[in-house]
Amino acid sequence: MLKDFAKGFEANDFGVETKPSRRRFLQGGAAVAAGLTIGFHWNAGMPKVALAAAGTGTDSAGGFVPNAFIRVGTDNTVTVLSKHLEMGQGVYTGLATIVAEELDADWSQIRVEGAPADAARYNNTAFGPVQGTGGSSSIANSYDQLRMAGATARALLVDAAAVDWNVDRGGITVEKGVVSHAASGKSATFGDLAAKAAAMPASVASTVTVKDPSKFTLIGTSVPRVDGKSKTNGTAQFALDVVLPGMVTAVIARPPVFGGTVKAVDDKAALAVPGVVKVVQVPSGVAVVATNFWAAKKGREALAVEWDRSKAETRGSAELLAEYKALAEKPGLPARKDGDVAKALAGAAKTVTASFEFPYLAHAPMEPLDCVVRLDQTGCEIWAGDQFQTIDQGNAAAAAGLKPDQVRINTLMAGGSFGRRANIVSDYIVEAVHIAKALDKGTPVKLVWTREDDIQGGRYRPMYHHTLTAGLDASGKPVAWQHRIVGQSIVDGTPFEAVMVKDGVDGTSVEGASNLPYDIPNMLVDLHTTKVGVPVLWWRAVGSTHTAYSTEVFVDELAHAAGKDPVEFRRAMLTHHPRHLAVLNLAAEKAGWGKPLAEGKARGVAVHESFSTFVAQVAEVTMRPDGSVKVDRVVCAVDCGVAINPDVIRAQMEGGIGFGLGGVMYGEVTLDKGKVEQSNFHDYRVLRIEEMPAVEVHIVQSNAAPTGVGEPGVPPIGPAVANAVFAATGRRIRNLPFTRDMNV
């Protein structure tokens, strides 16, 4: 789905060229005056690539810049420029591993920096003309591209050595950052050859071939994370760490209900707070600017704002849910229609029906939204954990009255996001630009959203209601499946709508349901898209966060109704989906499925595909005497194609399980007359460390193209635990979070 994003874009949507040529995309270095201009063509599955070099380039320190993704320093460091945001998912390490593998660099040489905002060179190939991170696409869209970038740099270093030593390049080897020629006894480091490689004439470049995977020495191994040390010793820089001369800090008073606007402001008390320097009205509310955060916060508390609620959303969660349930009684727009469901249900030996409720969910990253903006005569400069550089660049330019190329973005690491930083209106970026416009030219401003700001006035995973009905024949085999979904569209009113909404159906609302892998001859999935004034956004694993839960819990209900083992029941319906079946079998085997457990303990299983990654999980739970559940152990099997770094994969599965478990057990944003009732972690619970189960991750060995792991660990954990609770108690949990139906 992500690969279709660009089809709906026009050049003026974000102020970027919509169809940059492949040559322009790959040419030049990053942040250098002169770069190696390379035009090469790559194709997954075709390792031999013709390379035509039009020159070489250096950076300001005389280092070698072979292409837009690599910089080789005279100090022998190799810097990889990451076009993707590092927000804890390990992407810096994964992307650097791909480059280092083809370059034959030593891992100790490797450094990583965020690439500048430049969609012509750094677009996400899954998104089209947009530079951004999301959809677990970072490794998948960069794998072939970075392999070729690394192989190209290696070839030019070898050519430089061959010319310098007057030897045949065929006798030159590269290993761990050292270029050697055994016959002559000559050797040199990359740093030694940097200046010579930068001066190579275009005619020296030759055909480049990427490695056969059997020769990999780094890919498939668990090299240390490149961001681990800096995050441990505190030197890693996040937006909150940025301090610039003369910088001020701002917070914003936003409407208490969505759709509210400012009617009147009395700022006298706020301006009297020591440290407050200005009060600025911006489109989203009223900003208080001060010399430090505490003064800005106290100034905001002293503001007297009268809000206009005439166009605000005033419905509460109960009212919305009642409307959703009423809609679920009527047919929706079809997202998938196989066979004749009505006829098959009418002739079924047994029918089963269940309804599920899913609340709004906050992203609640550990680092809430923040950024620094400076406007001066040269343009606009931004420091942020930026997830959608192209979109943010265009929106910032529009807010500042500039052209997109006058906006420079310094992409820093982010303390989590889960989709929150990738929003189409660039809310926090645009707010900071508006504040900077009201300040003296050149005054940098740091905008800080508190956790309360984001939980009470942010963007959310939509609320959904699902109703499912299935029919079984006399042998217990499913013959019909009807799945109705009711909820908001994430992409409604955005440039993504043109390609992600087809025949009125938002693909993000039905993904994981419309592509259900089970062999059921008659299947209908339909959708009602609601109009609600609550801002919504993709949340880690997007539609699969609710569809995996409803489908996998319901499959378990069907297995029970058929009197069959849940794993065997699934196996029988996955004969045409070998990758689903493989992870299911591996997880069941490693978990000891079928082996007896102590009294009060039980296992549950779920399998799901999201973002082309296949995950199965078996959860082992203990039911306490007070009726609460403790998740003791989770066995996870994952097939993500070529495993770039097994440790990162395991970490992301573990993190996804913890994140998803907190969401299904506690996560809930509720509205009372349009106002969000939760505010921070005391009433928007996340999983606590003592609640984290023991997790085992087993990676399926695969030669398939690599896919993502940042999100696919999330969807299966909820249904696996719910199915285990049923196995232990006979109780089905259909309304989330678990706190609605049971003690946790």
Q: For residue 618, give Cα distances in angstroms to 660, 696, 707.
A: 14, 10, 22
For 110-156, the pLDDT digits (tens) are 999 999 999 999 999 999 899 999 999 999 999 999 999 999 999 99
For 413-454, the pLDDT digits (tens) are 999 999 999 999 999 999 999 999 999 999 999 999 999 999
Q: Does the pLDDT of residue 358 top 80, yes or no?
A: yes
Which amino acid is it at 362? A
Which of 209 and 460 is assigned the larger pLDDT? 460
As a whole number, mean pLDDT of residues 212-229 equals 97
Q: How confident is the model at residue 49 (pLDDT cuts 50, 70, 90)?
A: very low
Q: Could you give the angle at the alpha carbon of 115 between the alpha carbons of 114 and 121, nearest 5°?
A: 155
CA-wise closest residue to 548 among 613, 594, 503: 613
As a whole number, mean pLDDT of residues 19-35 equals 29
For 11-21, the pLDDT digits (tens) are 333 333 333 33
Mean residue pLDDT of the chain comes to 92
Q: How confident is the model at residue 47 (pLDDT cuts 50, 70, 90)?
A: very low
The 10 Å Cβ neighbour count of residue 163 is 16
Q: How confident is the model at residue 200 (pLDDT cuts 50, 70, 90)?
A: confident
Q: Does the pLDDT of residue 229 top 50, yes or no?
A: yes
Q: Among the listed ranges 195-199, 356-360, 503-507, which one has the minimum average pLDDT value?
A: 195-199
Burial 171-203 (b: 16+ CB within 10 A, else e): ebebeebbbbbeeeeebbbbbbbbebbbebeee
Q: Does the pLDDT of residue 27 top 80, yes or no?
A: no
Q: How confident is the model at residue 477 (pLDDT cuts 50, 70, 90)?
A: very high
Q: For residue 607, give Cα distances in angstroms to 175, 358, 551.
A: 41, 19, 10
- Give the pLDDT score at 56: 53
Residue 633, φ and ψ in degrees, nearest 5: -150, 140
Q: Does the pLDDT of residue 99 top 90, yes or no?
A: yes
Rg (CA), the chain: 27
As a whole number, mean pLDDT of residues 258-281 equals 98
Give the C-alpha separation, 30 to 88, whole Å. 23
Helices 646-665, 717-729: axis angle to 10 degrees equals 60
- Give the pLDDT score at 2: 44
- Give the pLDDT score at 58: 65
Name, in order, each residue with C-beta under 8 angstroms of 696's C-beta and a sequence gap of 6 or more: 590, 633, 634, 635, 636
The token duo for 203 is: 């005619």
Q: Does the pLDDT of residue 483 top 70, yes or no?
A: yes
Q: Does the pLDDT of residue 52 top 70, yes or no?
A: no
Q: Does the pLDDT of residue 51 top 90, yes or no?
A: no
- Give the pLDDT score at 31: 27
Q: For the chain, how long is the longest CA-to-CA vector?
A: 83
Please provide the DSSP assignment of 266-315 as one string: E-HHHHTSTTEEEEEEETTEEEEEESSHHHHHHHHHH-EEEEE-TTS---
Helix (H, G, I), strand (E, B) or coil at 47: coil
For 577-628, the pLDDT digits (tens) are 999 999 999 999 999 999 999 999 999 999 999 999 999 999 999 999 998 9
The token duo for 390 is: 């192209």
Please tell me whether the peptide bond between 737 and the residue prior to it is cis, using omega within 30 degrees of 0: yes
CA-wise closest residue to 461 among 545, 521, 383, 399: 545
* Domains and their CATH numbers in the chain: 2-225 (3.30.365.10), 239-310+369-448 (3.30.365.10), 317-360+460-740 (3.30.365.10)
Q: How confident is the model at residue 41 (pLDDT cuts 50, 70, 90)?
A: very low
- Give the pLDDT score at 744: 61
For 370-391, the pLDDT digits (tens) are 999 999 999 999 999 999 999 9
Helix (H, G, I), strand (E, B) or coil at 727: helix
- Give the pLDDT score at 741: 79
For 458-476, the pLDDT digits (tens) are 999 999 999 999 999 999 9
| E strands present in 593-743 | 601-610, 613-623, 629-639, 671-672, 675-676, 694-699
Q: For residue 728, give Cα distances in angstroms to 215, 568, 592, 708, 722.
A: 48, 19, 17, 34, 10
Sign (positive or negative) of CA dihedral 469, 473, 474, 477: negative
Residue 470, φ and ψ in degrees, nearest 5: -140, 155
Q: Where are the alpha helices (DSSP H) in 86-212?
A: 91-103, 119-122, 138-165, 190-198
- Give the pLDDT score at 45: 33
For 632-665, the pLDDT digits (tens) are 999 999 999 999 999 999 999 999 999 999 999 9
Name, in order, each residue with C-beta under 8 angstroms of 162's C-beta and a sequence gap of 6 or more: 168, 169, 172
As a whole number, mean pLDDT of residues 401-410 equals 98
- Give the pLDDT score at 203: 52
Q: How confident is the model at residue 345 (pLDDT cuts 50, 70, 90)?
A: very high
Helices 389-400, 427-437: axis angle to 10 degrees equals 30
For 582-594, the pLDDT digits (tens) are 999 999 999 999 9
For 509-563, the pLDDT digits (tens) are 999 999 999 999 999 999 999 999 999 999 999 999 999 999 999 999 999 999 9
